[in-house]
Amino acid sequence: MASRLNNISPELQEAYSACVKMAHSHYENFPVASRLLPKYLRRSVAAIYTFARTADDIADEGEYTREQRLERMTRFESNLYDIQYGKPPSEPLFMALKHTVESFNLPIQLFYDLLTAFRQDILKSRYQNFSEVHDYCHYSANPVGRLLLHLSGQATQENLQLSDYICTGLQLINFIQDVEIDVCTKDRCYIPTDELTNFGININDIKSRLRTEQYRELIDLQIKRAESIYNQGLNLSSNLPGFFGFEIRYIIACGQRVIHKLKKRKKIYQRPRMHKIDLVWLFFSTLFTKPISPTAIDPLLEQL
């Protein structure tokens, strides 16, 4: 199968190369399409990432009205219909995506689910309760994990459920990291409105970088819930074989490390970053049958 997937036209190879370039050009707290994966898998992961990244940019980037963003999203989505109904795509991204979808028999609905979330970002900026936030994660994050499992041939019912926990947890972690950015630059808040009210916090408090015990308790609640959901999926680490399994274990360890940094940060608005020493430490700890605790690196970092 690998040899067949690697034997592609120069035009398709160029389309994939553009996706890999985009995947490696954006900062993330975990590896995307790393060299741990075989080339044919790496470029397909990059195509999926580029699809999601491009749709996300349509929803958020640039000076566009809501109507213009919705129109651009509809045009973007029409390329999925072309793939679904066998029409040759004209854009490089969708050339690569079509090849990936057909080569691995990926469920096309998962891509539509992602666009549901990005379209929701255009239309919705407040979430009344956590049930609404959790529903958003179902569309914005879980499809990515499910697609990766289908790519690797590991999409069992158990693995899909565990992946949903990991992906929802990662999405919630991202919300916590970017609370101020989302509120100030996008007027969007993923902290449930009812919880803001319960802690006596409003959107203007966040915009003014409020630092009160109530706000810290509110954020601690978000972290605790994200960690609880994330931990429910940790068994996925032991279910996946080969280099793909290693990469997923590495990503999971990176997520645990970010949670730890969120819990330990002194400045409530400071976005934790994964430094090279974090990534190297987690990489080598993942090589062990029993991974080293993601907190064991702290004493070394304190000396730097």
Q: Where are the alpha helices (DSSP H) in 34-141?
A: 39-60, 66-84, 92-104, 109-123, 130-140
What's the pLDDT score for residue 112?
A: 98
Helix (H) or strand (E) holding 238: helix 236-239
Domains, in order of start, for the chain: 1-107+119-123 (1.10.600.10), 125-297 (1.10.600.10)
Walk along the chain (304 residues) in steps of 10 and give the mean pLDDT of each run. Answer: 67 92 71 69 92 95 93 96 91 95 96 97 96 98 96 95 97 94 93 96 90 91 97 92 85 90 82 76 68 47 39
What's the pLDDT score for residue 290?
A: 47
Q: Helix, strand, coil proportions of the chain in percent (round to 5)?
A: 70, 0, 30
Furthest C-alpha separation in the chain: 60
What does residue 175 show for φ and ψ, rounded to 5 degrees?
-60, -45
What's the pLDDT score for residue 90?
A: 85
- As to burial, measured by CB atoms within 10 angstroms (0-12 exposed, 13-18 middle, 19+ buried), residue 238 is exposed
